């Protein structure tokens, strides 16, 4: 028996090593590549498919990426006549219609992002990451699979270019197992950094300015609202990344959490009557009413707590976000008077919009 | 001799043509029976004329108008009551249904929240740039609403 046991153990060990568990080197290379990705410069064409507001969008995107210059993404809808350009330099983003020159200017939130080591630590705590060598577009790549330890979170698959760290193909699968977002390069050419250093957007553009989202400390938040917003009981494995203040359409606290892959954002503003969008599903929890809507792989949940309106947005399973509401606390339904006032205000907005559109038409 | 029985009343009332009246008068001169009938008709006529005509009630018009107006007011009151009841029922429904969603004229606020979520995602090291940029811009709404050139 002893002579048989030893080769069997060796075979099992060999099978285990040859199985889906990647070599440690591949994982280390993936970490290195993700770090290097922000320094990559390239031009390419991508196809993107995603789901927004009940529609699946398929787009062809021409990408110019230069960390010294700009990121320029020109989107063309497949099967329709839409065309749109987004240019980002630093944290400033403009998006415009190349035909009319109309668009908007906004600033991406400027918070102190946690170091990559933190993101990586959270990722490996909540997900199983595997990597193996592969090829795409004639280039050596790493095929990376990120699978959650619990089924309430998204999954991701990447083909990572081994020279630049660019995701030549990326797939994001929702907690329900449906493929929610796909992007794949049809062509890809690395360029030297600085190759679009002197690029400027066409002039003139007519840009509407969006209010800035800025980081805020707990004391600043209390100073703005006069009281502290409720503490959010996020799912296990999520860490607070930033607290931001959004000034429009109403002053709102935006709390950002990450588990290494999935991002959970909870919006908090004073109020007592939630405003769920059409298509939201009403769920009666033991504490009170909660409204739930699925938008692609994301789930949006609205509820109230201690005179605050809370909205959670994340690519988590709806049940998990309902648990967030349960554990944070849910007020019973809105007071009758508040509901009436909200209803009348909504009618007022509707009337104003109708009046406005009539004036425009005339 | 033919007696003009049918025409005698008209003769008394004075509604015959002059030729007919002349013929009746000539007949009466020679016919005592018809003269007697004419005398009776004239007596009845005098009797009817002697009855005083009733004076109209001076309050009748006002009463009639009040009556007509009253019925209209009652009808209006009934409709008002129906409207008030319907409004009250609608209000009661609005206020009392415990889990009724608040009506929304649009999904603008939620769309902004979804865009902000995508913007936060853009800063993540694992973000796919083209997808997150698409979701972080107002692009889907514009593409859906605007017919752009090719």
- Tens digit of each residue's pLDDT (9 = 90 or more) over A36-52: 998 999 999 999 998 87
Does B89 contact chain A (CB < 8 Å)? Answer: no
Ranges of H-type helices in chain B = 5-13, 18-30, 32-50, 60-96, 108-122, 129-136, 139-145
Closest Cα in chain B to A298: B114
Closest Cα in chain B to A262: B121
The whole-number pLDDT of residue B78 equals: 75
Higher per-residue confidence, B69 vs A61: A61
Least confident window among A119-123, A160-164, A334-338: A334-338
Closest Cα in chain A to B117: A265
Q: Rounded to a whole number, what is the distance in Å from the CA of B134 to chain A's nearest CA?
A: 8
Closest CA to A199 of A291, A55, A94: A94
- Tens digit of each residue's pLDDT (9 = 90 or more) over B85-137: 888 777 766 655 544 545 454 567 888 888 889 988 888 888 999 999 998 88
Q: In which residue are the tokens 């709806």 written?
A: A318
Facing residue for B128 by CB, picked from A95, A146, A181? A181
**Record: contact B105-A34, CB cut-off 8 A:** no
- Taking residues A339-358, what's their average pLDDT? 70
Least confident window among A16-25, A168-177, B21-30: A16-25
- Tens digit of each residue's pLDDT (9 = 90 or more) over A64-112: 999 999 999 999 888 766 788 999 998 889 999 888 888 899 888 777 7
Residue A7 has pLDDT above 60, yes or no: no
Higher per-residue confidence, B59 vs B121: B121
To probe the interface with B, which of A265, A296, A300, A356 has the most B CB atoms within 10 Å? A265
Q: Rounded to a whole number, what is the distance in Å from the CA of A153 to chain B's nearest CA?
A: 15
The whole-number pLDDT of residue A357 equals: 59
Q: What is the ipTM of this complex?
A: 0.84
**Record: contact B117-A50, CB cut-off 8 A:** no
Chain A / chain B CB contacts < 8 angstroms: 186
The whole-number pLDDT of residue A8 equals: 40
Residue A210 has pLDDT above 60, yes or no: yes
Restricting to B residues 29-68, those with a Cβ less than 8 Å away from any Cβ of A are none
């Amino acid at each position: 028996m002893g002579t048989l046991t030893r080769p069997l153990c060796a075979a099992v060990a060999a099978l285990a090593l040859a199985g889906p568990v990647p070599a440690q080197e591949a994982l280390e290379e993936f970490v290195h590549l993700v770090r290097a990705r922000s320094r990559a410069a390239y031009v390419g064409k991508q196809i993107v498919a995603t789901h927004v507001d009940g529609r699946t969008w398929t787009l062809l995107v021409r990408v110019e990426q230069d960390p010294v210059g700009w990121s320029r993404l020109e989107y063309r809808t497949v099967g329709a006549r839409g065309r749109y350009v987004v240019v980002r330099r630093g944290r400033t983003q403009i998006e415009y219609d190349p035909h009319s020159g109309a668009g908007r200017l906004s600033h991406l939130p400027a918070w102190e992002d946690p170091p990559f080591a933190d993101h990586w630590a959270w990722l490996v705590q909540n997900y199983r990451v595997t990597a193996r060598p592969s090829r795409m577009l004639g280039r050596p790549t790493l095929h990376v699979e990120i699978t959650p330890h619990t089924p309430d979170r998204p999954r991701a698959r990447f083909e990572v270019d081994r020279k630049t760290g660019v995701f030549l193909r990326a797939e994001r699968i929702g907690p329900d197992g449906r493929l929610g977002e796909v992007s794949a390069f049809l062509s890809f050419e690395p360029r030297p950094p600085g190759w679009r250093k002197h690029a400027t957007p066409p002039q003139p553009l007519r840009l509407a300015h969006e209010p800035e989202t800025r980081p805020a400390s707990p004391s600043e938040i209390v100073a703005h609202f006069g009281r502290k917003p409720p503490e959010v009981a996020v799912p296990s494995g999520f860490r607070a990344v930033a607290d931001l203040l959004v000034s429009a359409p109403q002053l709102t606290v935006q709390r950002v959490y990450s588990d290494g892959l999935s991002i959970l954002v909870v919006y908090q503003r004073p109020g007592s009557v939630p405003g769920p969008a059409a298509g939201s599903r009403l769920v009666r929890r033991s504490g009170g009413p909660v409204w739930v809507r699925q938008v692609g792989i994301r789930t949006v949940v609205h509820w109230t707590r201690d005179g605050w309106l809370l909205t959670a947005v994340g690519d988590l399973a709806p049940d998990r976000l309902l648990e967030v509401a349960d554990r944070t606390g849910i007020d019973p339904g809105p007071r009758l008077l508040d509901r009436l006032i909200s209803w009348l205000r909504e009618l007022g907005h509707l009337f104003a919009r109708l009046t406005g559109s009539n004036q425009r038409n005339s | 001799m033919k007696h003009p029985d049918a025409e005698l009343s008209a003769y008394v009332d004075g509604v015959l043509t002059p030729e007919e009246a002349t013929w009746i008068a000539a007949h009466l001169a020679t016919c005592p029976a018809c003269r007697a009938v004419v005398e009776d008709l004239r007596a009845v006529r005098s009797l009817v004329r002697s009855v005083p005509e009733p004076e109209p009630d001076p309050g009748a018009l006002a009463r009639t108008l009040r009556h007509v107006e009253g019925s209209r007011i009652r009808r209006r009151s009934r409709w008002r009551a129906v409207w008030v009841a319907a409004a009250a029922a609608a209000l009661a429904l609005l206020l009392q249904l415990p889990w009724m969603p608040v009506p929304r004229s649009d999904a603008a606020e939620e769309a902004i929240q979804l865009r902000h979520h995508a913007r936060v995602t853009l800063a993540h090291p694992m973000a796919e740039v083209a997808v997150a940029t698409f979701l972080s811009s107002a692009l889907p709404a514009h593409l859906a609403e605007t017919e752009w050139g090719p």
